[in-house]
């Protein structure tokens, strides 16, 4: 099925009305399945690297809340995502983005076409919400994924966004 068709858009003409953003404003949408861990951490990290970026995150099937352990491990590095909430990618379909970045394989597979996206990228990360074991083992899995996201998005920022 065409990615747009599953969201009620059968052709590009239905998508003509897009949100226009200032040319000097870099906008990024980060997508995941639940928008409760990886995409939220990536959003927080990019915003911490450059306050001038417009960074949003969303999910293909948004969870009810940001995972509490994601909030905890981000706070450990000085980034507060406690006021964030999961959002549906549907609210962003008609907006323009410089980059649409998927951070999980599931989102990559079902991600609709964003006609307003200049570039679509994929940076895959393991889902820390699926971690099992002791509280410390789960915490360490979240920290590991957080650190991987930080390294990848800082590299992305330095190579593509920093002026």
Q: Which residue is catalytic, options 26, 31, 32, 145?
A: 32
- Catalytic entry in 28, 111, 129, 145: 111
Looking at 45, 89, 104, 107, which residue is catalytic?
104
Q: Is 37 a catalytic residue?
A: no
> Residue 124 contacts by C-beta under 8 Å, 6 or more apart in sequence?
102, 103, 104, 105, 108
Burial of 138 (0-12, 13-18, 19+ CB in 10 A): middle
Pairing of strands 97-102, 117-122: parallel
Instruction: Show which residues are catalytic.
Output: 32, 104, 111
């Amino acid at each position: 099925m065409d990615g747009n068709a599953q969201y009620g858009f059968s052709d590009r003409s239905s998508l003509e009305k897009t949100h226009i953003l200032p040319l000097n404003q870099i906008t990024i949408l980060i997508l995941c399945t639940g928008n409760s861990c990886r995409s939220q951490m990536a959003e927080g990290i990019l915003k911490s690297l450059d306050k001038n970026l417009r960074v949003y995150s969303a999910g293909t099937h948004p969870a009810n809340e940001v995972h509490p352990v994601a909030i905890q491990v981000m706070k450990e590095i000085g980034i507060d995502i406690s006021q964030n909430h999961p959002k549906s990618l549907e609210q962003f379909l008609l907006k323009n983005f410089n980059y649409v970045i998927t951070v999980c394989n599931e989102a990559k597979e079902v991600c609709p076409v964003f006609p307003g996206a200049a570039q679509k990228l994929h940076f895959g990360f393991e889902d820390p919400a699926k971690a099992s074991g002791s509280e410390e083992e789960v915490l360490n899995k979240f920290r590991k994924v957080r650190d991987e996201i930080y390294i990848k998005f800082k590299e992305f920022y330095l190579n593509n966004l920093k002026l």
